[in-house]
Amino acid sequence: MKQFLSPTDLGDLHQAFREALEIKNDRYHYVEAGRNKTLLMIFFNNSLRTRLSTQKAAMNLGMNVIVLDVNQGAWKLETERGVIMDGDKSEHLLEAIPVMGCYCDLIGVRSFARFDNRADDYNEHILQQFIRYSGRPVFSMESATVHPLQAFADYITIEEHKRTQRPKVVLTWAPHPKALPQAVPNSFAEWMVAANYDVVVVQPEGYELDERFTRGATVMYNQDEALSGADFVYAKNWSAYREPNYGQILSKDMNWTITSQKMALTNNAFFMHCLPVRRNMIVTDEVIESPQSLVIPEAANREISATVVLKRMLDALNK
Amino acid sequence: MKQFLSPTDLGDLHQAFREALEIKNDRYHYVEAGRNKTLLMIFFNNSLRTRLSTQKAAMNLGMNVIVLDVNQGAWKLETERGVIMDGDKSEHLLEAIPVMGCYCDLIGVRSFARFDNRADDYNEHILQQFIRYSGRPVFSMESATVHPLQAFADYITIEEHKRTQRPKVVLTWAPHPKALPQAVPNSFAEWMVAANYDVVVVQPEGYELDERFTRGATVMYNQDEALSGADFVYAKNWSAYREPNYGQILSKDMNWTITSQKMALTNNAFFMHCLPVRRNMIVTDEVIESPQSLVIPEAANREISATVVLKRMLDALNK
Amino acid sequence: MKQFLSPTDLGDLHQAFREALEIKNDRYHYVEAGRNKTLLMIFFNNSLRTRLSTQKAAMNLGMNVIVLDVNQGAWKLETERGVIMDGDKSEHLLEAIPVMGCYCDLIGVRSFARFDNRADDYNEHILQQFIRYSGRPVFSMESATVHPLQAFADYITIEEHKRTQRPKVVLTWAPHPKALPQAVPNSFAEWMVAANYDVVVVQPEGYELDERFTRGATVMYNQDEALSGADFVYAKNWSAYREPNYGQILSKDMNWTITSQKMALTNNAFFMHCLPVRRNMIVTDEVIESPQSLVIPEAANREISATVVLKRMLDALNK
């Protein structure tokens, strides 16, 4: 595995789930697999879960880990070519990336959407430069449009908790004070469809996601109707994808907050969210603290999904 | 050992001192004890000695270490319940803490007093939430009211240097330009009393510490009188504990600075301070550089106290 | 080896090159050499290559590594003696340095020239305090006047690529928007002379380097003339060394930028730069992306030079 952005990079999801269970059962089973291999984690943006769970995953595999915060303790990088670099950026990614590749075996990159330009974000400009120029296998630790380690952990969590072969999984938009990227809902929709679940995506008008990710899901606009009979409710805020409103907030409608009344419409659904979550915006205290809430098990599975992915990448290195 | 805040968590201090000497004699003696165990160190505030010495202690035990700076490279956390989270805090401790617990085996927390509200500080609001919600053994790396790793290191240092069975140990207030927490003097007084030394605490009127920590010590207001016959002089600044002045500076009286003249009143006492120290405010250059100064050996014993504590916590995990 | 600042600390450079090749051939050959030894890397200034390559080098040797960013997550340090410390600096280097030495076996220090005072910079005020007070072997990770890990990597790179026994190596000044230290050109000149190459240093009037570093090199002022017949072109900006202009920018003359036209004057020379480089200020896109550009192999050799240096220091510890 040379890159990790989408479910197709993993191949058969059932096989990946079996590997996840194997690691969950004995986290250090492959502690020799990463001996004398180094993971470089590069953060262009903040992180809690990804930072901790990916480090833990690498340690499960006996790897060395180097963490680099690019806007803290390191340079601001120029990303365009042909520029006379007389401003505040003292290094070009075209030098910085191959150099980073020299000192490690695998690279994880966190680089959020910037909302300057949808095409730049949706081309995964920064991540793709790492893939092209680093000379190393690269995985997304949430990039501009995808968050596959999260979606893989969500998939593991649903497989562990589902009560029917093909559960109804509802991804619903919810309000938030700031403009957020589409990375989490994009990947969640994409992975749920790849898992062959009954997938519904529901949002207010204007918040439709890129069809590349929602193809195969039912797209709706009435939250109550969507929640009916749901087995899993995945709440998440995102900003508008469609032009000319890309990256903008079109609504903060608190009627979309997930409450106990909303959950009563479902098939006693489990509640999910990738975290961090704004309580009483996205979801009430009552729902997130209920026995049906899976937010902590989901987060715990981030260690597992990352361990499976790193193990696959190490295996490919050794071939 | 499920938590570490006070000398009672360690039990018999003489036994703890013997373990300290054993580790000091061979720091890597238990390098297998922490194999495939992960320490998470969470800093809500800056640190030098604690950051380095605790990492070193974990490495002595062969542990993996993850360091998280919560206000650098990670989120600002909401700590209250029931808040509509539409401000600058994007995550609640009630999610963040259990998640952090998922990715590690032991947790150290640095979280200073905020001085907003004495009750919140003296309830150890943040540390206690980690104890309640993380699902992991938790130790203070200086929290709102205590700094037990420091006080344990101070105890080791005094045991190593004492010339009588029950030395006279004087904790004296000294001036400082900023308002400081009471954590270090609280723990120092508590541990010295627990060690059954002859303990004197001396400070200007209004600077009396919480009696929970000084019970068993002699409380005085005349520094010269207190220093008479002292075997160990521990200087430290702290802000007022008593209401309505909690967290305030009541005096910057430079007559309380520890000078050679002051040290001449003692029984050729050793000088101690937890560091960092403001030279020529707390203590003169001359005293801190004298052969009687123990500030560096104290700091060196921070590695030892932390190794003993982590070793105890690892032993409890494996039971 | 108790310190590493100059080529004389390494002794015979040919022998050092042989050790470099041995490690390059099998990076983990000495993975047991650093078992239970701890490297402390202290950064007073930003770093990318040095941070990553030195960590990797320590991991090659099986060492534990602690990274400390002094102005991020730790204190601002007082460096003068006799000051009444009532300002924003809460700790003195005279306490902080010995304490840091307590928790590690080797210390690397990054501390750039401040340009306040040439004598302070050229006395290597901060680095020398670490050498005097830490009690540990200390190496420069670029200090005020030298960058020996870079120059050693440059030497390795030239030995690997040279086509004649004694190549002509030209160090040329080039324009830059900000005032930069002389550390890289100082060390480069010093090491190239020590390697007994035919060394030319060329710069505009007023940019002459300290003769302590350029003694043995030919100093010129005409770039075209200097480049004639060059086997290696090492471009670098630096600010003025000579008083009364120390630390100042005297020229931003873009005629000194290394272009294909300039490279055509050479003996099909290799292009070198320590990175980070300002493209189209120091060198054009065309030259840095050409097959003659060695900027990435140079950077890759930073891991090798650091591994050799750490290995030497570990060997000295174990004697």
B221-245 mean pLDDT: 98
Per-residue model confidence as pLDDT tens digits over C101-123: 999 999 999 999 999 999 999 99
Q: Using a CB-CB distance cutoff of 8 angstroms, which residues of chain B are in contact with residue A276?
A: 75, 90-92, 95-96
Predicted pLDDT of residue A72: 52
Nearest to B51 by CA among C76, C133, C75: C75
Q: Which two tokens stand for residue A43?
A: 């953060």
Q: Which DSSP helix (H) or strand (E) runs through C40?
A: strand C38-43
Q: Is the pLDDT of residue A74 over 50?
A: no
Q: Is the pLDDT of residue A73 over 50?
A: no
Q: Is the pLDDT of residue B73 over 60?
A: no
Check CB contact of B99 with chain A, cutoff 8 Å. Answer: yes
Domain with CATH 3.40.50.1370 in chain A: 3-146+302-317, 150-298
Check CB contact of C85 with chain B, cutoff 8 Å. Answer: yes
CATH assignment of C149-298? 3.40.50.1370
ipTM of this complex: 0.93
Check CB contact of A43 with chain B, cutoff 8 Å. Answer: yes
Name the residue of chain C whose CA is nearest to B279's CA: C85
Query: How far is A2 from A136, CA to CA, in rounded Å?
Result: 8
Tell me the C-alpha to C-alpha distance, in Å, between residue C119 and each of A251, C97, C113, C125.
61, 22, 10, 9
Check CB contact of B71 with chain A, cutoff 8 Å. Answer: no
**Sheet strands (E) in chain A:** 3-4, 38-43, 64-69, 77-78, 91-92, 106-110, 138-140, 168-173, 198-202, 218-220, 232-236, 270-272
Task: For B3-146+301-317, give the CATH class.
Answer: alpha beta
Domain with CATH 3.40.50.1370 in chain C: 3-146+302-317, 149-298
Pick the CATH number of B148-298 from 1.10.645.10, 3.90.550.10, 3.40.50.1820, 3.40.50.1370: 3.40.50.1370
Predicted pLDDT of residue A4: 98
Q: Is the pLDDT of residue B161 over 70?
A: yes
Q: Using a CB-CB distance cutoff of 8 angstroms, which residues of chain A are in contact with residue C278?
A: 85-86, 90
Mean pLDDT of chain B: 95
C249-262 mean pLDDT: 98
Query: What percentage of chain C reaches a pLDDT higher than 90?
Result: 90
Per-residue model confidence as pLDDT tens digits over C12-68: 999 999 999 999 999 999 999 999 999 999 998 888 899 999 999 999 999 999 999
Strands A106-110 and C270-272: unpaired
Predicted pLDDT of residue B163: 97
Instruction: Determine the distance in angstroms separating the CA of B132 from the nearest CA of chain A, rounded to an integer.
Output: 15
Predicted pLDDT of residue B155: 98
Q: Is 0.80 surpassed by the pTM of this model?
A: yes
Check CB contact of B82 with chain A, cutoff 8 Å. Answer: yes
Confidence of residue A125 (pLDDT cuts 50, 70, 90): confident
Predicted pLDDT of residue C23: 98
Query: How far is B131 from B97, CA to CA, in rounded Å?
Result: 9
Helices (H), B26-116: 49-60, 93-102
Q: Which range is least confidently modeled, A70-79, A293-302, C64-73? A: A70-79
Q: Which range is least confidently modeled, A309-318, C90-99, C269-278? A: C90-99
Residues 6 or more apart whose Cβ sits within 8 Å of residue B102: A53, A296, A299, A300, A302, A303
Task: For C3-146+302-317, give the CATH class.
Answer: alpha beta
Per-residue model confidence as pLDDT tens digits over A241-280: 999 999 999 999 999 999 999 999 999 999 999 999 999 9
Burial class from Cβ neighbours inside 10 Å (0-12, 13-18, 19+) for residue B36 reads: middle
Mean pLDDT of chain A: 95
Confidence of residue B46 (pLDDT cuts 50, 70, 90): confident
Indicate yes or no: CB of C46 within 8 angstroms of CB of A96: no
In total, chain C counts a number of residues equal to 319
Write the DSSP symbol of residue B19.
H
Per-residue model confidence as pLDDT tens digits over B98-139: 999 999 999 999 999 999 999 999 999 889 999 999 999 999
Strands of B38-43's sheet in order across: B3-4, B138-140, B106-110, B38-43, B64-69
Query: What percentage of chain C reaches a pLDDT higher than 70?
Result: 98
Per-residue model confidence as pLDDT tens digits over A6-26: 999 999 999 999 999 999 999
Q: Are A178 and A162 in contact (CB under 8 A)?
A: no
Query: How far is B310 from B19, CA to CA, in rounded Å?
Result: 12
Q: Using a CB-CB distance cutoff of 8 angstroms, which residues of chain C are in contact with residue A40?
A: 52
Query: How far is C142 from C53, CA to CA, in rounded Å?
Result: 13
Residues 6 or more apart whose Cβ sits within 8 Å of residue A267: A168, A229, A230, A231
Strands of A168-173's sheet in order across: A218-220, A198-202, A168-173, A232-236, A270-272
Predicted pLDDT of residue A75: 52
Q: b vs e for B282-313, b when ≥16 Cβ sit within 10 Å of the residue's Cβ?
A: bbbeebbeeebbbbbbbbbbbbbbbbbbbbbb
Domain with CATH 3.40.50.1370 in chain B: 3-146+301-317, 148-298
Instruction: Determine the distance in angstroms separating the CA of A109 from the nearest CA of chain C, rounded to an integer.
Output: 15
Predicted pLDDT of residue C74: 44
Check CB contact of B104 with chain A, cutoff 8 Å. Answer: yes
Predicted pLDDT of residue B75: 52
CB atoms within 10 A of CB C22: 16
Q: Which CATH architecture has domain A150-298?
A: 3-Layer(aba) Sandwich (3.40)
